[in-house]
Amino acid sequence: MSLLRRGRWITAFALLLLGGIYIRALVFTPEERLQGLAQKIYYVHVPSAWSAMLAMGMVGLASILFLFLKDPRYDRFASASAEVGTAFSLVMLTTGPLWARPIWGTWWTWDARLTLTLMMFFMFIGYQLLRGAVTDPALRARYAAVVGICGLVLLPFIHLSVYLFRTLHPQPIVLKPSAPSAPPAMVITLLSSFAVFTLLYVGFVMQRYAIGERTHDA
């Protein structure tokens, strides 16, 4: 079975599991007392942010490997991951304000975490615009790799922004040194959603990589 078809199957399976996550989150996960049902937005917002950051991390790592090894497969992978990361960033940036409006009373604030994640979204967009603007494949790959590495440098600042700066954004629930700060039923839903979004990332990247490979247009 080709990479494209395997990617399609994985994506279809992940979307099916995402339906399961929706059901688990809506029906079988308790409602938070202070935030009400808006808290359940966490189960799509946080995993989409994770997948977007995973995508940016992979773009950066593949870019470093490309610059060292000059293997076009790394460039193609970075390009695929950047496009997929844009989709997950879009989910993150639309579901976040839908949670913030009832909880903070505003759709958006220029808080460190929010601003840095918006920067990551613009880096994904910029990365792809750059690829579209440079016609020479060798130059395109090299310039894009530099942008990809800049994106990788941004990631620790995004994750640590809630500790480094005075911020409204909630602190990590799971990805932190101490035990998760939520009841087990909520943590299980959140972790399951992390797994499904990761699988979705894998399925999308496999398809996008295969398309880039066959069209020779990374």
Partner 1 sequence: MTPDAVPQTGGYMVAAYIVAAVILLAYTVVLWRRGGKVDRGS
Site for partner 1 in 4-63 (CB under 8 A): 4, 7-8, 11, 15, 18, 22, 26, 31, 33-38, 40-41, 44-45, 48
What string of DSSP letters covers the chain? --HHHHHHHHHHHHHHHHHHHHHIIIIISPPBTTTBGGGGGHHHHHHHHHHHHHHHHHHHHHHHHHHHH--HHHHHHHHHHHHHHHHHHHHHHHHHHHHHHHHHSSS----HHHHHHHHHHHHHHHHHHHHHH--SHHHHHHHHHHHHHHHHHHHHHHHHHHHHS--SSPPPSSSSSS--SS-HHHHHHHHHHHHHHHHHHHHHHHHHHHHHHHHT--
- Judged by CB under 8 A, which stretch of 88-96, 112-120, 151-159, 177-185 contacts partner 1? 88-96
Q: Please state the closest distance from residue 132 (CB atom) to partner 1, in A.
A: 15
Confirm or reject binding of residue 168 to partner 1 (CB under 8 A): no
135 vs 215 by CB, closer to partner 1: 215
Site for partner 1 in 97-156 (CB under 8 A): 98-99, 101-103
Confirm or reject binding of residue 95 to partner 1 (CB under 8 A): yes
Site for partner 1 in 181-210 (CB under 8 A): 200, 204, 207-208, 210
Which parts of this chain interact with partner 1 (CB under 8 A)? Answer: 4, 7-8, 11, 15, 18, 22, 26, 31, 33-38, 40-41, 44-45, 48, 84, 87, 90-91, 94-95, 98-99, 101-103, 200, 204, 207-208, 210-211, 214-215
